[in-house]
Amino acid sequence: MTQLHDPAWRGFASDNYAGVHPAVMQALSDANGGHQVAYGDDVYTERLRVWVREAFGPDAEVFPVFNGTGANVVGLQAMMQRWEAVICATSAHVLVDEGGAPERTGGFKLHPVATPDGKLTPALVDEQAWGFGDQHRAQPAVVTITQSTELGTVYTPQEVRALADHVHGKGMRMHMDGARLSNAAAALGCAFREFTADAGVDVLSLGGTKIGAMGAEAVVVLNPAAVQGLPYLRKGAMQLASKMRFVSAQLLALFESDVWLQSARHANAMAARLREAVAAIPGVEVTRAVDANAVFAVLPAEVTARLQQQFRFYTWNEMTGEVRWMASWDTTEDDIDAFAAAVAREMGAVVAR
């Protein structure tokens, strides 16, 4: 098949727009050929289990899946009874970007809490952590946080620990959506374990797609006592890969070496470069801290419309005009400079009138 797209084109809507890291493409080729046992009994998945125990602790277990929604739904479902509920931020991916899959496929209710920066705190959790024993209320059982958050902010290990201690003190369990876990680790300068297992997280979703995988995520169980039936739930949710070696090989290519760290550091650095460039443009208001690889800003609606004809990105809040720009593992300095120049040009056209 001939190439159908322009490989020089860049967008800033999502780090999912980026291609596959060369190391992952090589790993898929290396894993190909011959036969391997299906459904996770292959040598690549076993090697992934070894890495997960080294990275997260000797009790950690890994369950590769196809996508982030599957990882979140299966992981959360395994932590709960049918009458229980999940507390999350109003910006959480499980609430606003997963098409109702937690409710429909997972069968559990979400209790959302408004946050100023995408991060939950013990006090914010308490806004929904009530009604225990009340048969009229879906029982709060799990708190899920996103690292890094949908608003581009990052929880410190101390913040995660304080939240986990509070959650556990109420008899609930702690889940982390780690679709951008690598970006958070790069921003913090921490090993994964420092702000997950060592900070009290029970289960997490480990993201690979946003840092260069073709399509590979995983549920990582840090506290086996916090889950039940996960292998069966994964199968029932249609997230069990028959040729799992190709999912596991992608994750190994990223995480067994420092590919994940290089990719995440680079994406974060490109976001920081973009923030610095657009913050200097009159009329552009950067609205949130740039902890990882997301930049949020407010622009005039007409400028946003013209820019979106040249570059793909999302309007985050139609009411305020806030937009989101994402940097990826393959974003270049030239990409950032060209985009910032376009922002300056369009803003200048508004000011000139």
Over residues 209-231, the pLDDT tens digits come to: 999 999 999 999 999 999 999 99
**Together in a domain, 213 and 281:** no
Is residue 3 one of the residues assigned to a domain? no
Q: What is the pLDDT of residues 66-92, one digit of tens each?
A: 999 999 999 999 999 999 999 999 999
The mean pLDDT value for 94-99 works out to: 95
At residue 62 the predicted structure's pLDDT band, cuts being 50, 70 and 90, is very high
pLDDT in tens, 19-59: 999 999 999 999 999 999 999 999 999 999 999 999 999 99
Residue 271: give its domain's CATH number: 3.90.1150.10
Residue 148 and residue 208 share a domain = yes
296-346 pLDDT, tens digit per residue, is 999 999 999 999 999 999 999 999 999 999 999 999 999 999 999 999 999
The chain-wide mean pLDDT, for the chain, equals 96
How sure is the predictor about 351, in pLDDT bands with cuts at 50, 70 and 90? low
Spatial CB neighbours of 37, under 8 Å, sequence gap ≥ 6: none
Beta strand spans in the chain (E) = 61-65, 84-89, 109-113, 139-146, 173-178, 203-207, 217-221, 285-286, 294-298, 314-317, 322-326
Amino acid at position 322, single letter:
E
Q: Provide the domain count of the chain.
A: 2
296 and 235 part of one domain: no
Q: What CATH number does the domain containing 198 carry?
A: 3.40.640.10
Domain closes at, from 209, 235, 255 = 255
Give the per-residue pLDDT at 352. 58
- Whole-number pLDDT of residue 348: 87
Parent domain of 266: 259-352
Contact, 111 vs 94, CB < 8 A?
no
Taking 90 as the threshold, does the pLDDT of residue 353 lie above it?
no
- The pTM assigned to this predicted structure is 0.96
Q: Is the pLDDT of residue 133 over 80?
A: yes
Last residue of a domain, one of 206, 222, 255: 255
| In-domain check, residue 201 | yes
Q: Does one domain contain both 225 and 263?
A: no
Question: Is 12 a domain residue?
Answer: no
